């Protein structure tokens, strides 16, 4: 596998800009995604510290972000 000749800078810069000293890793994020998915259905409710850290992780980590979008789609899917 060869490194692509065109690297997209934006995801790296976005992640660097959003970096905090204390963050959730993927495992911590996965423990809270279900709660976040339910919480975001009523957006006026303020997020707890854990859910804020979960949402922050989703902004940094593409893989968890993609899985979270699938979770939201799936939860909506069982109600169709």
Interacting residues with Zn ion (CB under 5 A): 26, 61, 64
Q: Is 38 in the site for other proteins (CB under 8 A)?
A: yes
DSSP letter for 44, please. T
How far apart are CB 44 and other proteins at their closest, in Å? 18
Other CB atoms within 10 Å distance of the CB of residue 24: 22
Residue 56 token pair = 């922050």
Is 40 near other proteins (CB under 8 A)? no
* 8 lies in the site for other proteins, by CB under 8 A: yes
Closest CA to 21 of 51, 63, 53: 53
Instruction: Note the residues at the interface with other proteins (CB under 8 A).
Output: 1, 3-19, 21, 23, 25-27, 30, 32-35, 37-38, 61-63, 67, 70-71, 73-80
């Amino acid at each position: 596998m060869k490194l692509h000749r065109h690297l997209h800078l934006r995801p790296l810069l976005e992640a660097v800009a959003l970096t905090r000293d204390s963050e959730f890793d993927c495992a911590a994020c996965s423990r809270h995604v279900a709660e976040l998915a339910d919480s975001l259905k009523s957006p006026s409710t303020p997020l707890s510290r854990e859910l804020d850290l979960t949402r922050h992780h989703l902004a940094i980590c593409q893989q968890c972000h993609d899985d979270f979008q699938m979770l939201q789609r799936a939860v909506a899917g069982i109600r169709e």
